[in-house]
A and B are shown apart, each in its own frame.
Chain A
Amino acid sequence: MNKPARRAPQNTLASKRPGRGRFKRQLPLHVMILPAVVILLIYAYVPMLGTVIAFQNYTPAKGFVNSSFVGLENFRYLFSNPNFTNALKNTVIIAFWKMLTGLVVPLAFSLMLNEIGVSWFKRTSQTIVYLPYFVSWVLMAGIIVDIFSPTRGIVNSFLGLFGIDPIFFLGDNKWFRFVLILTNVWKEFGWGTIIYMASLSAIDPSLYEAAMMDGAGRVRQTLHVTLPGLMPTIVLLATLSLGNVLNAGFDQVYNLMSPVTMQSGDIIDTLVYRIGIENGQFSVATAAGLFKSAISCLFIVASYKLADKFAGYKIF
């Protein structure tokens, strides 16, 4: 009789001894994972090492090796530069409002959807509000510029019905951030709604029956059954969104911003692009990017820790 030869080793001693045999047996697994490892090494880990140019006066002609080190000079330059501090401020403001609206709007909308009994209506509505999430920001920006235009935009013609003069939404620093946050809600709230709807459908229906037996009306059912049922999801999304504290959304901002609205709309990512790719100041741009990556990394790690603690969430 052949006993299974590939059983998991029963104890560590047994698994340590035939070390070479084990590696040979597991060789296919190492081979499978190799392509991903090589590509990540080249295109993710080498760039991490490449951040060394943030501490250099890097020129492409000299390369990493021969460029002179300048210590924290690039960071000092950044923090004394009003463009950078302005971008940092804008980033935090825009990201904060996106995080807040990203939590509240989908929650409110899923509670509203949940009250709808006519299933075709509910389904149609879901199909419609999820759609913008899957369209790129480039195309959305093309549409947004059109509908917010002061001369031909439908938003201004609508406001005109109430006697409001045309507002130059995308050319006015008073309005620009508002438009960013509003259109971000439009494009992204389907994502959160999908998640909340999934966790609403997971609430045990017998809890509602029990609440009804106890004489709870719809309001109390919402307060005492629905919201507690959603709480783990709310906590999870809230903690995970912390990792986005410096993510104000490059795709959206870059495609909607113009020099006129730079004061209220310029964010770290657009600044890095401008000074790095457009002006070729590689070292300063890398320093700004590294600042963002480092802070974001702290927040992402903290958010995973919190999500694990409060919602039992583990990424793997």
Chain B
Amino acid sequence: MRLKKSVGRRVFLVVNALLVALISVVCIYPILHILAVSFSSNEAAQGGMVNLLPVDFQLDAYEFVIGNAQFFTSFGVSVKRTLLGLVVNMTITILAAYPLSKTRDKFSGRNKYMWFFVFTMLFSGGLIPGYLIVNATGLIDTIWALVIPSAVPVYNIILLQNYIKGLPGEISESAYIDGAGEWSVLFRIILPLSKPVLATLVLFAAVAHWNSWFDGMIYMNRPQNYPLQTYLQTIVVQLNLKAVTNLSDVTNIAEQNSKAAQIIIAMLPILVVYPFLQKYFTKGIVLGSVKG
């Protein structure tokens, strides 16, 4: 076998590497650009002078955001909904996945329950009936509107029950012989063995809650109840689109750099944990696609 690569192969490798590099740069460029804008003066941002490096480096935009009470209120709502939502989601996921992981002769209603869960993935009542029931149960303008309607992550439950099914059955069998009940088998044996997949599910539930904006928009009437993404939707997106409607965004006098700063801060929790937990981020996606 020849160890030396042919000329054609070497040309291909170089071109391929350049293309991959180019695509990666195009992917990250907009995010770096908005980071640069957030550290630039508003005049430079408005004039389109900012590229990858800040122009007239300054922290004015961040000072403005820090002085913005609504931003902080919304940030607090987001933190609260994420923590609360995480606890509720994970409790429900664990408690539902364990019985569903049993075979039918160990848990007689198992298949009926399973269909009950899966059917909600196939068909939904849609926006309006969903809104009406949230309204009827008195959740409007409470934090629970952001937590309860999405409290049962059916897809995650299916992933977890698949994982539990794959665990060796002997360990729990011997626990039953020692007189352990279902609750202690779940908490003493199954959960410790499921740590890797639980980490992934926690991460996905947290990201979903942090990124969620639509429920805040329809279920919250008072701005002080908006989670961060909903608040940013009103200031970052709606204002920009108004400018588009006027067919010229010269009229858009809103502060570009402070918008950029708010986008960056809202993204920060994900930007900070992502590089360290990338393994779990990717695992969550693979888990969902290839049978877990």
Count of A-B contacts with CB under 8 A?
313
Q: Does B16 contact A (CB under 8 A)?
A: yes
> In the complex the two chains form, is B120's CB within 8 Å of A44's CB?
yes
> In the complex the two chains form, is A258's CB within 8 Å of B245's CB?
yes
> In the complex the two chains form, is A36's CB within 8 Å of B158's CB?
no
Residue in contact with B291 in the complex, picked from A29, A46, A194, A314, CB distance below 8 Å: A314
Q: Does B253 contact A (CB under 8 A)?
A: no
Taking the closest CB of chain B, its distance from the CB of A289, in whole angstroms, is 3
Given contacts A15-B105, A139-B267, A146-B34, contact A109 B23 (CB under 8 A): yes
Residues from chain B with Cβ under 8 Å of A143 in the complex: 30-31, 33-34, 263
Taking the closest CB of chain A, its distance from the CB of B123, in whole angstroms, is 5
Taking the closest CB of chain A, its distance from the CB of B81, in whole angstroms, is 14
Per the bound structure, the CA–CA distance linking A146 and B255 in Å amounts to 12
Q: Does B285 contact A (CB under 8 A)?
A: yes
Residue in contact with B122 in the complex, picked from A46, A286, A300, CB distance below 8 Å: A300
Per the bound structure, the CA–CA distance linking A147 and B99 in Å amounts to 50
> In the complex the two chains form, is A149's CB within 8 Å of B249's CB?
yes
Q: Does A129 contact B (CB under 8 A)?
A: yes
> In the complex the two chains form, is B113's CB within 8 Å of A195's CB?
no
> In the complex the two chains form, is B95's CB within 8 Å of A32's CB?
yes
Q: Does A97 contact B (CB under 8 A)?
A: no
Q: Does A272 contact B (CB under 8 A)?
A: yes
Q: Does A229 contact B (CB under 8 A)?
A: no
Q: How many chain B residues touch A (Cβ–Cβ < 8 Å)?
A: 115
Residues from chain A with Cβ under 8 Å of B275 in the complex: 127
Q: Does A124 contact B (CB under 8 A)?
A: yes
> In the complex the two chains form, is A255's CB within 8 Å of B249's CB?
no
Q: Does B130 contact A (CB under 8 A)?
A: yes
Q: Does B142 contact A (CB under 8 A)?
A: no
> In the complex the two chains form, is B17's CB within 8 Å of A144's CB?
no
Q: Does A282 contact B (CB under 8 A)?
A: yes
Per the bound structure, the CA–CA distance linking A255 and B234 in Å amounts to 10
Per the bound structure, the CA–CA distance linking A264 and B230 in Å amounts to 25
Give a binary string over B78-108; 1 marks a CB under 8 Å from any A CB, 0 the rest.
0000000000000110011011101101111
Per the bound structure, the CA–CA distance linking A37 and B100 in Å amounts to 12
Of the 9-residue stretches A75-83, A84-92, A113-121, which lies at the interface with chain B?
A113-121
> In the complex the two chains form, is A316's CB within 8 Å of B267's CB?
no
Taking the closest CB of chain A, its distance from the CB of B251, in whole angstroms, is 11
> In the complex the two chains form, is A116's CB within 8 Å of B16's CB?
yes
Interface residues of B in 22-49 (CB under 8 A from A): 23-24, 26-31, 33-34, 37, 45-48
Q: Does A210 contact B (CB under 8 A)?
A: no
Residues from chain A with Cβ under 8 Å of B274 in the complex: 127, 131, 134
Which B positions have Cβ atoms within 8 angstroms of A?
A: 1, 9, 12-13, 16-17, 19-21, 23-24, 26-31, 33-34, 37, 45-48, 51, 91-92, 95-96, 98-100, 102-103, 105-109, 113-114, 116-118, 120-134, 137, 148-149, 151-152, 154, 157-158, 161-162, 173, 176-177, 181-183, 186, 207, 210-214, 218, 229-230, 232-233, 236-237, 240-242, 244-245, 247, 249-250, 256, 259-260, 263, 266-267, 270-271, 274-275, 278, 281-282, 285-286, 289-291
10 closest residue pairs by CB, A with B? A47-B125, A289-B126, A50-B129, A152-B48, A136-B211, A47-B129, A142-B236, A29-B99, A28-B182, A36-B96
